């Protein structure tokens, strides 16, 4: 995931409702939800299960605001990014994350190993000012 994949949620929060009941009229407990499923064809509906059992059917919550007129058919489009540039971590934070690598599946290790740090970005700016190559390793 890149910083260009992250968008602000304000528009989304303003266009949906936090429902307490599902479409069948039963009470929802958001803390008990274990499996969430979103389908583009039903943009303002969220399917969920309170168990990870594959045999149990999904329940559904309608997140659309109730009001007069035609209901919105889709989620708001994202015009702006949440972050305009890559966020850097401190050296201490990166060291802590690298210490946790034994608990993380190996497929994700390159992500953590190549995270830019504040120190690396400062060094790359100095190298760029001195005419050197830019590297975030």
Q: What is the pLDDT of residue 137?
A: 47
Task: State residue 96's pLDDT score.
Answer: 93
pLDDT at residue 62, as a whole number: 87
Residue 36 tokens read as 């969430």
Tokens 């059917």: give the residue: 57
The per-residue pLDDT for 109 is 93
Model confidence, pTM: 0.51
pLDDT of residue 59: 92
Cα 41-20-73 angle, rounded to 5 deg: 25
pLDDT by residue, tens only, the chain of 137 residues: 666 777 777 877 777 777 788 888 888 888 999 999 988 887 788 899 999 999 999 999 988 877 666 555 556 666 777 777 777 888 899 999 999 999 999 999 998 898 888 776 555 555 555 554 544 44
Q: What is the pLDDT of residue 120?
A: 62
- The pairs formed by 116-119 with CB atoms below 8 angstroms and a separation of 24 or more are 116/86, 116/88, 116/89, 117/88, 117/89, 117/90, 117/91, 118/88, 118/89, 118/90, 118/91, 119/91
């Amino acid at each position: 995931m890149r910083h260009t994949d992250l968008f602000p949620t304000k528009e989304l929060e303003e266009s949906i409702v936090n429902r307490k009941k599902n479409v069948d009229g039963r009470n929802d407990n958001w803390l008990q939800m274990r499996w969430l499923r979103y389908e583009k064809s039903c943009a303002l509906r969220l399917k969920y299960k309170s168990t990870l059992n594959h045999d149990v059917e999904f329940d559904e919550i309608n997140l659309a605001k109730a009001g007069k007129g035609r209901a919105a058919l889709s989620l708001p489009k994202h015009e702006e990014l949440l972050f305009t540039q890559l966020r850097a971590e401190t050296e201490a934070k990166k060291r802590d994350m690298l210490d946790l690598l034994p608990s993380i599946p190996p497929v994700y290790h390159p992500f953590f190993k190549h995270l830019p740090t504040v120190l690396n970005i400062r060094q790359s700016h100095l190298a760029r000012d001195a005419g050197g190559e830019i590297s975030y390793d």
